[in-house]
């Protein structure tokens, strides 16, 4: 059984998945993997980042990080951009506009979208989610909830100091 399929089976035994991605930098590593799992029915902000490592290299946190042979290309740039849209939403909610801007810029670059980040968070996140789904139509069922998440939490946050979840600045 392929390793990714085995990981999917294990995670699906916990709860059905919406998505499972691997970090392309470690996709072919024989010693380390980094998986990103989003489970059905859970909030989008509750993604699970699962680091898997061989016990022989457990003490080497950066093992294979700069190894060209460990890199893979079997990954979805649009799915990664969509994950950046979710992370940007979280960054805005945490009062980290520079982090949100960086995430959005990387997301747009990742899919070759010409759009720039304006600081109008709701619009920027919506554009990135839509651009990702336009490039990979199978992502539309995931992109629409990302846009709703941003709409539910970021309405009125297109300002210098966005409100936190509790409404304070």
pLDDT tens digits, the chain, 169 residues: what are they? 456 678 889 899 999 998 888 877 766 677 777 788 888 888 888 888 888 776 666 565 665 566 565 555 667 889 989 999 999 999 999 999 999 999 999 999 999 998 789 999 999 999 999 999 999 999 999 899 999 989 988 876 554 444 444 444 4
- The tokens describing 129, both together, are 């989610």
Domain limits for position 113: 77-154
**pTM: predicted TM-score of the whole model, two decimal places:** 0.72
Give domain status of residue 164, yes or no. no
Are 89 and 37 within one domain? no
Within 8 A by CB and 6+ apart from 17, the residues are 8, 11, 37, 38, 39, 40
Are 83 and 66 within one domain? no
Q: How many CB atoms lie within 10 A of CB 46?
A: 9
For the beta sheet containing 48-53, the strands, ordered from the edge strand earlier in sequence to the opposite edge, are 17-22, 32-39, 48-53
Give domain status of residue 43, yes or no. yes
């Amino acid at each position: 059984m392929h390793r990714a399929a085995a990981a999917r089976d294990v995670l699906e035994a916990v709860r059905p998945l919406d998505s499972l991605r691997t970090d392309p930098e470690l996709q072919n590593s024989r010693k380390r993997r980094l998986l990103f799992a989003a489970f059905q029915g859970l909030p989008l902000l509750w993604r699970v980042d699962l680091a898997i490592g061989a016990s022989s290299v457990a003490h080497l946190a950066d093992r294979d990080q700069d190894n060209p042979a460990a890199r893979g290309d079997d990954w979805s740039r649009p799915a990664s951009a969509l994950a950046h849209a979710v992370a940007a939403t979280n960054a805005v909610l945490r009062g980290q506009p520079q982090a949100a801007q960086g995430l959005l810029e990387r997301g747009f670059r990742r899919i070759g979208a010409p759009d720039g980040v304006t600081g109008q968070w709701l619009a920027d996140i919506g554009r990135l989610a839509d651009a990702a789904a336009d490039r990979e139509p199978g992502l539309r069922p995931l992109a629409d909830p990302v846009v709703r998440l941003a709409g539910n939490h970021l309405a009125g946050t297109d300002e210098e100091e966005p409100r936190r979840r509790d409404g304070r600045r």
